[in-house]
Amino acid sequence: MLNRCSCRTLHCIIFHASGVAVIALPHNSTRHLPLMLCCFSTDSVEDELELSAVRHRPEGLEQLEAQTRFSRKELQILYRGFKNECPSGVVNEETFKDIYSQFFPQGDASTYAHFLFNAFDTDHNGSVSFEDFVMGLSILLRGTIQEKLNWAFNLYDINKDGYITKEEMLDIIKSIYDMMGKCTYPILKEDTPRQHVEIFFQKMDRNRDGVVTIDEFIDCCQNDENIMRSMQLFENVI
């Protein structure tokens, strides 16, 4: 449970030394939340959810409570952080990139932020509303293993055709290396992302047809101890 202002850090999907993709938080993961959060407040519910000045009105608290795994208080905290960064009630891709890039000054986060934005923009209208954000966050923090892996598959499936190709996986992994920068990977060979993808893609593409289906993706991840262990990092963050 957060008790003061939180560090505002998005989750990142990285490759561990074992060469498998995992969903993980940066160091000190218990102190971080995906995207913008502010500290607990004693303000009233009416003050917390004052919407008269915003362009997009989110759904009522009761409906969002029913649709997510967040409590009323947690939704209030999330909304305050979202509204502080996005007063209009929605965030477009450029703003999302600007916010995200603040957390990774040692690298270039723009490409990964683009992929992540598209994963949150579920209706593909070019903007992420509070509902979009909190629905995705609910899965990442409180969802089942199956739900989290479905979300991760959607991120890797860049063109949304239901398959992950080796090039799609490489694009995501390259963007992660770019984002983390040489501060994190001081000795970074240019072919390292491709080497990781080759190892992991072969592991996933069990029928050797050149693409990874969602069943192959989930089955492979569920049988990898590193990935399963990483899923627990999201639990009880707030």
**DSSP string for residues in 99-146:** HHHTT-TTS--HHHHHHHHHHH-TT-SSEEEHHHHHHHHHHHHH--HH
Q: How confident is the model at residue 149 (pLDDT cuts 50, 70, 90)?
A: very high
Percent of the chain with pLDDT over 90: 38
Inside any domain, residue 167: yes
Q: For position 110, what pLDDT does the model report?
A: 94
Counting runs of H as helices and runs of E as strands, what totals does the chain give? 11, 8
Residue 183 has a pLDDT of 55
Q: What is the CATH number of the domain that holds 171?
A: 1.10.238.10
Q: What is the pLDDT of residue 104?
A: 82
Residue 94 lies in a domain: yes
Host domain of residue 103: 7-234
Residue 48 φ then ψ, to 5° = -60, -40
Q: Are 55 and 41 in contact (CB under 8 A)?
A: no
**Run of H or E residues at 168:** helix 166-184
Furthest-apart CA pair in the chain: how many Å?
A: 57
Most confident of 37-41, 94-98, 139-143, 212-216: 212-216
What's the rounded mean pLDDT across residues 123-141? 91
Query: What per-residue confidence (pLDDT) applies to 184?
Result: 53
What pLDDT score was predicted for residue 227? 80
Mean of the per-residue pLDDT values of the chain: 74
Q: Please, are residues 22 and 226 in contact by the beta-carbon 8 Å criterion? A: yes
Within a domain: 131: yes
Question: Where do we find the tokens 């917390």?
Answer: 48
* Residue 122: inside a domain: yes
- Least confident range from 42-56, 172-186, 215-229: namely 42-56
Instruction: Find, among 107, 118, 133, 211, the residue nearest to 165 by Cα.
Output: 211
Q: According to the model, what pLDDT value does residue 189 have?
A: 52
DSSP-derived 3-state class of residue 154 = helix
Higher pLDDT, 54 or 113: 113
* This prediction's pTM: 0.74
- The tokens describing 139, both together, are 């899965």
Q: Please state the separation of Cα 185 from the chain's center in Å.
A: 21
Nearest to 200 by CA among 165, 175, 155: 165
Q: Categorize the per-residue pLDDT at 58 as very low, low, confident or very high, splitting at 50, 70 and 90.
A: low
Is 71 within the bounds of a domain? yes
How far apart are the C-alpha atoms of 202 and 71, rounded to whole Å? Answer: 41
Terminal C-alpha separation, the chain: 5
Mean pLDDT score, 160-187 = 83
State the pLDDT at residue 24. 32
Q: Give residue 14's identity as a one-letter amino acid code.
A: I
Q: Is residue 1 part of a domain?
A: no
Q: Is 2 within a domain? A: no
CA nearest neighbour of 111 among 69, 155, 68: 155
Residue 193 has pLDDT above 90, yes or no: no
- The number of folded domains in the chain is 1
Using pLDDT thresholds of 50, 70 and 90, give the confidence band for residue 217: very high
- Supply the pLDDT for residue 59: 60
pLDDT of residue 192: 79
- Residue whose token pair is 């969903």: 23
Model confidence over 6-47: pLDDT tens digits?
Answer: 333 233 332 322 223 333 333 332 233 333 333 223 343 444
